[in-house]
Amino acid sequence: MEYNQEMKNRLRRLEGQVRGVLRMMEEDKHCKDVVTQLSAIRSAVDRSIGLIVAKNLEACIKESSDQGQSAEEAIQEAVKMLVKSR
């Protein structure tokens, strides 16, 4: 599977958000504001995981189809990855 620019950009934004939270902590910002930003980061991580798993599943199903195999195993693996990420 190839990790495209969209995926990498998402993670770069996440990296910036984490740095922002660290800066907030260093500046002694209010706990509520820090937790709000951490919740946004968690949500962005979840969306990134979903995107990566979906793209991986697409690639695996296409590969299975090209080889004349069932896509069932790829689907089961994708479900396991999603469950594990929770």
User: Three-class SS string for 14-66?
Assistant: HHHHHHHHHHHHHCCCCHHHHHHHHHHHHHHHHHHHHHHHHHHHHHHHHHHHH
What the chain holds in terms of domains, given with CATH numbers, is 5-84 (1.20.58.1000)
Tell me: pLDDT of 2 over 80: yes
pLDDT, tens digit, 9 for 90 and up, residues 20-72: 999 999 999 999 999 999 999 999 999 999 899 888 888 888 887 788 777 78
Tell me: pLDDT of 10 over 80: yes
Tell me: pLDDT of 86 over 80: no
Residue-level pLDDT at 80 = 84
Q: If residue 82 lies in a helix (H) or strand (E), which one and from where to where? A: helix 72-84
CA 67 to chain centroid, in Å, comes to: 28
Q: Cβ of 57: how many Cβ atoms within 10 Å?
A: 19
Identity at 29, one-letter amino acid code: K
